[in-house]
Structure 1
């Protein structure tokens, strides 16, 4: 699924961070099949050749520079938030296979949210159907009877991609077990200490701890709500796990660290300086 119809409404940075192949239909009236079709009395269903040409993208696992990786995650988060708030789209399949990057003419990386095979409009019937890559799916969605897909589920998937990118393989239990056990493995992780990034990516520990805490507090609030232990009259927002996992909370987290690692001139050029007022 490409997004050319939305081009006119995108902020200036967004076409850099989502695949936007130009769409053009080129007729070839002199082709033999076209001339042959004209001789039939009944309608003739012609074959269609579609070619997609787009900028070369690279998998996130190719990145070894922590500053580049940090930029990519921030870019993808901002793009995902824009698609949700302004295009009313849920991606529903964030994984290492579709968080990509490209390099600009100056060599600077740009994160790209790719693979729009499973998106759905917010609130549509399709949001009730399970979609995604099992190891990166949210805990709720790994359940036998998954609930409606929410944006916090995609934020949870984005976190698992971060875990995959910066943590030692032996600390990623749920990537190598049966699907039926994944939900319990992920849930138990959030009630333990946060994972420690591998050597070279120690700077991500602040992100890891902050996101870990957000989900731990959120899952505890969810458990208390389901067991009726919340204070009577105290509201519980399931869309954000009790206000713990939201675009605003993740924005605070993802805007941390980069300013300490880049020069002021480079920082002014990053998408991290783009701010939004949440409509959620």
Structure 2
């Protein structure tokens, strides 16, 4: 359970707004305060693109002296899971639809995509709820727009095996339905495994959603257009519509035609190239007839659709040179070359 609102404070006779967030997560999970502090520690150079905590604190049930703790209740592991109250205040950010221009919107979205990759490669969490409400922005001291990846309260981290640990994941699907990947919308007895490529798919939906609904100059998010209203229905219905959307271009074209005039350039530059990337990746998955026991080639990597949907293919599709990832890899390569040269000289 979580509750967020904006509180106005008075400081030196000047008022300023601070968003306050109250949550009551299970103790077994890494809470959002810990997650944000951890991410700042692993990618300090990208602190501008992570939530800036102004205040945070944790409270236990005994410490809160809640009335129910005084009742004669039989508490067991089966009927009660320990939790606590977490409060955090952060810098006040701006919604994507208030970017001011299409270019500013693009920059904020791209910042979040690249920061997200650095978070994944260094901190190893998956956000698990990327949506239009969690990608935000603000103007830096240099006057430039900076995208911020917000709300880490249901993130999951890798375990010792390098896999997202389901023990600490929620026992239900997480995400905001219109922005959830197709795989995560599928009916199953247990939540599907959340993968990095699912988050890339969510970034695509956010980009498309903005182009369909945002008047970024005026700062308005218009009501959902008819072409994607089915994406706000039940999970099975949404998955069906998205599968159809990626099956044939003729089924996707009405959605693209509904894109706002000022975003038509973005449609050609980023949206349609990413559509074709995801469409090709999704349709590359090997299929086996149900009456055959032959398994698909073991070399096919389902986590990346055979290498077709990765951060690198995503960035290549929109013709953007990665800034922070490329710089880091270049530095590591140079460091390796220097070590090799030193080794050769010694020998």
TM-score between both structures, scaled by the size of structure 1: 0.76
Candidates 141, 157, 160, aligned match of 2:205: 160
- The whole-number CA distance in structure 1 between the counterparts of 2:302 and 2:53 is 36
For residue 82 of structure 1, what is the aligned residue in structure 2?
Answer: 118
Q: Are the aligned partners of 1:174 and 1:186 in contact in 2 as well (CA < 8 Å)?
A: no
For residue 264 of structure 2, what is the aligned residue in structure 1?
Answer: 202
Residues 205-216 of structure 1 mapped to structure 2, 5 A cutoff: 205=267, 206-216=269-279
Residues 137-148 of structure 1 mapped to structure 2, 5 A cutoff: 137-145=180-188, 146-148=191-193
Give 1:106 deviation, angstroms.
3.4
For residue 189 of structure 1, what is the aligned residue in structure 2?
Answer: 245
Give 1:64 deviation, angstroms.
4.5
Candidates 89, 92, 101, aligned match of 1:56: 92
Higher relative contact order (CA 8 A, sep 6+): 1
Structure 1 spans left out of the alignment, 5+ residues: 26-43, 260-271
Give 1:179 deviation, angstroms.
2.8
- The 3-state SS of whatever aligns with 1:93 is coil
Give 1:54 deviation, angstroms.
2.2
Candidates 225, 231, 245, aligned match of 1:175: 231
Give 1:212 deviation, angstroms.
0.8
For residue 238 of structure 1, what is the aligned residue in structure 2?
Answer: 302
Give 1:9 deviation, angstroms.
2.9
Q: Does 1:110 align with 2:166?
A: no
- The whole-number CA distance in structure 2 between the counterparts of 1:96 and 1:215 is 19
Give 1:240 deviation, angstroms.
0.9
Q: Are the aligned partners of 1:95 and 1:161 in contact in 2 as well (CA < 8 Å)?
A: yes
Q: Are the aligned partners of 2:274 and 2:318 in contact in 1 as well (CA < 8 Å)?
A: no
- The whole-number CA distance in structure 2 between the counterparts of 1:175 and 1:91 is 21
Aligned length: 244
For residue 72 of structure 2, what is the aligned residue in structure 1?
Answer: none
Shift in alpha-carbon separation, 1:217–1:100, aligned structure 2, 3 A: same
For residue 70 of structure 1, what is the aligned residue in structure 2?
Answer: 106
Q: Does 1:273 align with 2:323?
A: yes
- The whole-number CA distance in structure 1 between the counterparts of 2:262 and 2:206 is 17
Structure 2 spans left out of the alignment, 5+ residues: 1-31, 66-83, 159-163, 214-224, 331-347
- The 3-state SS of whatever aligns with 1:111 is strand
- The whole-number CA distance in structure 2 between the counterparts of 1:115 and 1:68 is 21
- The 3-state SS of whatever aligns with 2:138 is strand
For residue 252 of structure 1, what is the aligned residue in structure 2?
Answer: 316
- The whole-number CA distance in structure 1 between the counterparts of 2:312 and 2:138 is 26
State the Cα RMSD in Å: 3.1
Q: Are the aligned partners of 2:96 and 2:105 in contact in 1 as well (CA < 8 Å)?
A: yes
Q: Are the aligned partners of 1:90 and 1:119 in contact in 2 as well (CA < 8 Å)?
A: yes
For residue 19 of structure 2, what is the aligned residue in structure 1?
Answer: none
Q: Are the aligned partners of 2:117 and 2:311 in contact in 1 as well (CA < 8 Å)?
A: yes
Q: Are the aligned partners of 1:72 and 1:112 in contact in 2 as well (CA < 8 Å)?
A: yes
TM-score between both structures, scaled by the size of structure 2: 0.62
Q: Are the aligned partners of 1:17 and 1:75 in contact in 2 as well (CA < 8 Å)?
A: yes
Shift in alpha-carbon separation, 1:233–1:241, aligned structure 2, 3 A: closer
Give per-residue Cα distances to partners, 1:117-174, cap 9 Å, x unaligned.
1100132114575211111111111111142110111111111111110026233243
